[in-house]
Structure 1
């Protein structure tokens, strides 16, 4: 195997985790590989079927290189952690807004929250008596196994 090929493979092994690990919540490895392959396939398609190492490098770590450049050519652990945390929480915020936003305007209001709560309450109140009893809660899963609802020990707290 040529030295340049070995170098490129080593770079892939390091670049994927550095560039995307903090952004994936579930199936981190699969999501990293999928994202990496999408970026590489796009780069190859945009470049007549081949890419150079420089093009590969730009595709793999453009955001990371921008962070380094934006910080005077050096990036500390704290700066990188702050940037990764900010992006992670922005993604979480987008998912929450999308889940609750009833008008589709990208804004969250108390009416949106109350509407979602009413919908969830109605789904849990299987006998429509305006109360949720323990036997109406799902078994296991997020709510059924939660300590607040007894957590499997047979009593509500």
Structure 2
């Protein structure tokens, strides 16, 4: 198969992948493209730099095809949305646990949260007086730290 044909197939698959998630944010689409490229690179590495259509298909949509098969050969919008939402929230939960989990045991405790808060507070309390003053907040801090106004919550 010619290189131009391979590229055309890759772009068709990319367009299909992006089209099926048109409702997603641009960031999600960019992550999908990155994931697609990673899957294709891995498949090609495993196959000495080339892949067949079947290998391409397996690399691209194995999880989606499994979901269709697990749901009797058809997947509704609601079923797909539920699966995507669950996967998104699981990724978010893993990031939060990784950020706070001080023992590395994959769980989140009140002590983990308090420990993280103490670290962030210490970073913000630049003069080490036990208080955070407005002047110690990062520039634009009210936007970065979740507040919508100048008052500290």
Cα distance in structure 1, aligned partners of 2:74 and 2:20: 19
CA contact (8 A) 1:15 1:60 kept: no
Higher relative contact order (CA 8 A, sep 6+): 1
RMSD over aligned Cα, in angstroms?
Answer: 4.1
Greater CA drift, 86-95 or 51-60: 51-60
Tell me: CA distance 1:7–1:117, structure 2 relative to 1, closer, same or farther (3 Å).
Answer: closer
Q: Which residue is 1:95 aligned to? A: 95
Q: 1:34 offset after TM fit, Å?
A: 3.1
CA contact (8 A) 2:39 2:60 kept: yes
Cα displacement string for residues 70-95 of structure 1 (whole angstroms, at most 9, x for unaligned residues): 11111111111110110111011111
Cα displacement string for residues 24-58 of structure 1 (whole angstroms, at most 9, x for unaligned residues): 98854553333222222222233354322122111
Greater CA drift, 29-38 or 5-14: 5-14
Greater CA drift, 109-118 or 6-15: 6-15
TM-score by length of 2: 0.76
Match of 1:146 among 131, 136, 142: 142
* Aligned positions, number: 153
Cα distance in structure 1, aligned partners of 2:23 and 2:105: 25
Greater CA drift, 41-50 or 104-113: 41-50
Instruction: Give the gaps of 5 or more residues in structure 1.
Output: none
Q: Which residue is 1:43 aligned to? A: 43
Tell me: CA distance 1:44–1:147, structure 2 relative to 1, closer, same or farther (3 Å).
Answer: closer
Instruction: Give the gaps of 5 or more residues in structure 2.
Output: none
Cα distance in structure 2, aligned partners of 1:46 and 1:10: 18
Cα distance in structure 1, aligned partners of 2:37 and 2:20: 12
CA contact (8 A) 2:125 2:132 kept: yes
Q: 1:126 offset after TM fit, Å?
A: 1.7
